[in-house]
Amino acid sequence: MLCVTIGRTRHKYMIAEYHDLAAKGAQLVEMRLDYVGRAVDLKRLLESRPCPIVITCRRREDGGRWEKSEEERQMLLRSAIASGVDYVDLEEDIAARIPRYGKTKRIVSLHNFERTPEDLHEVHARLAALDADVVKIATLANSFSDTVRMLQLMASVKTPTIGLCMGDLGAATRILALRYGAPFTYTVLSSDRKIAPGQITWQQMRDLYRPDAITENTKLFGVVADPVAHSLSPLLHNTMFAEDKLDCRYLPFRVPAEDLELFMTWCRASQIGGLSVTIPHKEPMLNYIQQAEQAVNGIGALNTVVFREGEALGYNTDYRAAMDSIMERVGVDPTGVDTLKGRGVLILGAGGVSRAIAYGLRQRGAIVAISSRTQDRSERLARDVGARALAWSARYDIRPGIIINGTPIGMHPEVDESPYAKEKLHESMLVFDTVYNPEQTLLIKHAREVGCQVITGVDMFVRQAAYQYKLFTGLAPKPELLRKTLKAATSPVNF
């Protein structure tokens, strides 16, 4: 079950939101009385109850907004119980003083906005002993191991327990809580109304992660990155799983570099099916796989891991997708020889994406020059793949047939920037911008205006996601659905 938390300063908005949520199918709503600005009129708030309700009134020290007297707060909680609300949230220090009455269930809670205590089981035992129907522990995750410990806690205790790790590092606890035995998990109405760090919106939970239907049999996948909040991969993969009616879910895993080993151990123990891998793990992940496709070894980086029969296998779908996109435009000559052979290509940037593309182009005999802001990095990449390094300021000194942007220049929100001046473009060029958000970057707009052929970052992103999906599930996704989903997510109205 999903619980939607609402906190409004005015009674009429709180009531309207509660009723609106119930009309939209909310199964449980948490009303945060500490958000109400004036004297709380509980009778008015609870006059009609269109769906089950949790009453919470949080003090400042527990992350809430309540500033009036403690006596008044406890009186409100008692009154809520007397009015027969479905659940009341009682912090550890007051739970013993507020007796059970009627059918109201007691959530005994603890919040820690600084860390996840080492003695989680002891904390849990203390809370459960306070006549708890539900134990709620919400703590800040400072590492992925905090998330793992919280999931293990939920799986191992008898009292129904909602264990949530706050912050991006703990997103998995919110999505997987029900699978690990929690009676419900908390969500928020919209991302600008977050009440605790890392909360996921009701809509995202309901439409994307669907935690109610995650069981022991559900196959889990995810993107591992740091940071991870910006990733569109959960949207794309979950949309495709739903389309294909697969019992699979795709989660965002924010994992700091120092936690990668622990994370991979957890993935194996939790029977994770596969991972998309992105910054900063594309290279270090090589240490945790048993086999890799040839390109991964050539590039020295991967972006996909598939777990199969106890082994982790590495792939690079960025490379495959970029090369497919280029080959589709450049093609082969009538004798079957790549027309890339001997073609001059300028790659801007010397990071992971540039490396994958440079490797692929060199494999096909293109003559590659790499120009990046940090000269050492371009020189290293040029040496590794057999290309030429150019200073960033010298990028206009050559006349390439193909220009590829592998830098983030032009990406949202810096949409008015381009890594290559319009007046230096020529209609005979093929311009490939790997930036996909927005699709129509300034570089792509300029290239179209000049009459160049173009490949957008969306072309590449859709292909790489499709390859990943095929590796994860064995199914070919519908490219049009992928493209439509990606475009909707990156359209200006979503920012």
- With contacts defined by CB under 6 A, name the span among 5-13, 191-199, 328-336, 346-354 that binds ligand NAP: 346-354
Shortest separation between residue 377's beta carbon and ligand NAP, angstroms? 4
Contact residue for ligand NAP among 409, 431, 455, 482 (CB under 6 A): 409
Tell me the DSSP string of 94-163. Answer: HHTTS---TTPEEEEEEEESS---TTHHHHHHHHHTTT-SEEEEEEE-SSHHHHHHHHHHHHH-SS-EEE
Sign of CA dihedral 84, 180, 260, 383: negative
Per CB under 6 A, does 173 bind ligand NAP? no
Contact residue for ligand NAP among 234, 252, 273, 406 (CB under 6 A): 406
Contact residue for ligand NAP among 229, 257, 279, 391 (CB under 6 A): 279
- With contacts defined by CB under 6 A, name the span among 107-115, 226-234, 260-268, 401-409 that binds ligand NAP: 401-409
Contact residue for ligand NAP among 460, 466, 482, 486 (CB under 6 A): 460
- With contacts defined by CB under 6 A, name the span among 28-36, 124-132, 333-341, 367-375 that binds ligand NAP: 367-375
Tell me the DSSP string of 3-33. Answer: EEEE--SSHHHHHHHHHHHHHTT-SEEEEEG
Q: Which is nearer to ligand NAP, 211 or 419 (CB)?
A: 419
H/E/C letters for each residue in 58-106?
A: CEHHHCCCECCCHHHHHHHHHHHHHCCCCEEEEEHHHHCCCCCCCCCEE
Shortest separation between residue 455's beta carbon and ligand NAP, angstroms? 10
Per CB under 6 A, does 372 bind ligand NAP? yes
Q: Which is nearer to ligand NAP, 105 or 373 (CB)?
A: 373
CA dihedral 198, 178, 159, 199 (to 10 degrees): 10
C-beta separation of 186 from 5 below 8 A? yes
**Mask for 303-322, x = binds ligand NAP (CB under 6 A):** ---------------x----
Q: Which is nearer to ligand NAP, 310 or 413 (CB)?
A: 413
DSSP state of 252: E
Q: How many CA atoms lie within 13 A of 460 on its CB side?
A: 28
Per CB under 6 A, does 349 bind ligand NAP? yes
Per CB under 6 A, does 435 bind ligand NAP? yes
Task: Give the separation between CA 419 and CA 409, rounded to whole angstroms.
Answer: 6
Q: How many residues bind ligand NAP (CB under 6 A)?
A: 24
318 is catalytic: yes
C-beta separation of 272 from 249 below 8 A? no
Per CB under 6 A, does 302 bind ligand NAP? no
CA dihedral 288, 293, 296, 298 (to 10 degrees): 130
Q: Annotated catalytic sites, by residue?
A: 111, 136, 282, 318
Return residues touching ligand NAP (CB under 6 A): 279, 318, 349-354, 372-374, 377, 406-409, 411, 434-436, 457, 460-461, 464
